[in-house]
Amino acid sequence: MTTDPTAGATRNPGGCLQPVLLRGRVDHLDGATGELLHRYTTVHEPGGVLPIACKTRRASQCPPCAEDYRADTYQVIRAGLSGGKGIPSSVAQHPCVFTTLTAPSFGPVHLHREKDGQLLRCRPRRRSELCPHGIRLSCPDRHPRDDPLLGEPLCPDCYDYTGAVLFNACAPELWRRFTMTLRRALARQVGLTNRAFAAQVRVSFAKVAEYQRRGIVHFHAIIRLDGPAGPTAVPPTWATHALLTEAIDQAARAVHLETPASPGLPARTMAWGRELDTRAITTTGKLTDARVAAYVAKYATKAAECTGTLDRRLTPADRLVDLPVRDHARRIIAECLRLAKLPGLEPLRLARWAHMLGFGGHFSTKSRAYSITLGSLRSERATYQREQAIAAGLLPDLDSDTTLVVSDWHFAGRAPAPSLQHKGGAG
């Protein structure tokens, strides 16, 4: 028996702009006799194909599908903060924080700065120095939020493009090490061995990557302490906000990794930036569960395109000078391609991820016990749609224990996007 690729799909694939077209059939057979009880075939569909939503998470590729993804992500994140969808509401009492792990500086860039609703000067300096290229390393301007200058280096020739690319490439591993170090830091603070700690507390995460205007990723993470069984279990009384916040601080400052060395490129140590922002998530006040869930869900549908880079993978036919990107992004992409050729740096796969400015990780990830999964939300929806279809007489109401479902599907292409120019291929 094969899985049904159309599970959860509807005849009208949710307004998808680039649906996947399938040709095939689904037979419902009597498990005992093999008698054909019902057959669905795409032969009777328009063009003989069934369009299925592309289900991309990327708003730049298919806004309607990305909107579904955003809404589902919101539900998943929110359930992990305040309960719902099978997670008990007592989870809201567990210590839980929202933290931002930033990237270090790789050179001065133009900044949007604001205090109490007032725009502040970008980089005011009374006696500003000149860089070796004769550029003043200060900026008296007040940049509004949509200023195209934001994130641009004051001097591109001084900017450490190598460091910026290596940081993006190492960020997923840096995050992995951070989660391990955090567990150890928590155990040490309460005087437990790692094993004894793990028997009493489970640390759950949900994180999302965001590109800053300067083209470097940083991570926003929800970190929660549960009892050993996850969100249904009460954590010990010593597991507090204060303990969690202190351990995050220790772990974030301790974690580092060495980049591979290559002839002409010594190994470098990568670490998080000094700026660290950890705040408690509450059900009232400024940083509420709803706000955090909305924030994480919004970034889950974005990729690097908001920094003015490409929305697709580079191909050998692309010429760097012709790419429709801003110069800063072009320099980062060029550095990815240069470093990709250095012996020793192959594991970073920088050519493959050049359009992502070196970052090859996931945009949104959750530890297993954080909440329900996107998949369980989708299958809940599929069940509902199946029941609707049965009620409308479109599907037979057959006993699922005695009926065999045999599907045979073939990929029949992709419908062209009507309004978006789809370039495809991007991860």
Q: Which residues bind Zn ion (CB under 5 A)?
A: 16, 53-54, 62, 65, 110, 122, 131, 133, 139, 141, 155, 157-158
For residues 64 and 172, which CB has a smaller minimum distance to Zn ion in the complex? 64
Contacts of 102 (CB under 8 A, 6+ apart): 218, 272, 273, 274, 275, 276, 277
- Please report, as a single letter, which amino acid is at residue 159: Y
For residues 62 and 270, which CB has a smaller minimum distance to Zn ion in the complex? 62
For residues 53 and 377, which CB has a smaller minimum distance to Zn ion in the complex? 53
Shortest Å, Cβ 251 to Zn ion = 33
Q: How many helices (H) and strands (E) does the chain have?
A: 7, 13
Shortest Å, Cβ 109 to Zn ion = 8
With H, G, I as helix, E, B as strand and everything else as coil, classify residue 288: strand
- Specify which residues 120 forms β-bridges with: 113
- In our burial notation (b when 16+ CB lie closer than 10 A, e otherwise), range 277-309 reads ebeebbeeeeeebeebbebbbebbbbbbbebbb
For residues 144 and 343, which CB has a smaller minimum distance to Zn ion in the complex? 144
Shortest Å, Cβ 63 to Zn ion = 8
For residues 213 and 224, which CB has a smaller minimum distance to Zn ion in the complex? 213
Supply the DSSP string of 51-103, one letter for each residue. Answer: EE------TTT-HHHHHHHHHHHHHHHHHHHH-BTTB-GGGGGS-EEEEEE--
Shortest Å, Cβ 412 to Zn ion = 16
Paired tokens of 183: 């567990």
**Run of H or E residues at 40:** strand 36-41
Shortest Å, Cβ 166 to Zn ion = 20
For residues 122 and 174, which CB has a smaller minimum distance to Zn ion in the complex? 122
Shortest Å, Cβ 280 to Zn ion = 34
For residues 148 and 396, which CB has a smaller minimum distance to Zn ion in the complex? 148
**Residue labelled with tokens 């029941």:** 387
The dihedral sign for the CA sequence 67, 73, 77, 82:
positive
Paired tokens of 209: 């990557």
Give the integer Cα–Cα distance in Å for 188 and 182. Answer: 10
Shortest Å, Cβ 272 to Zn ion = 25
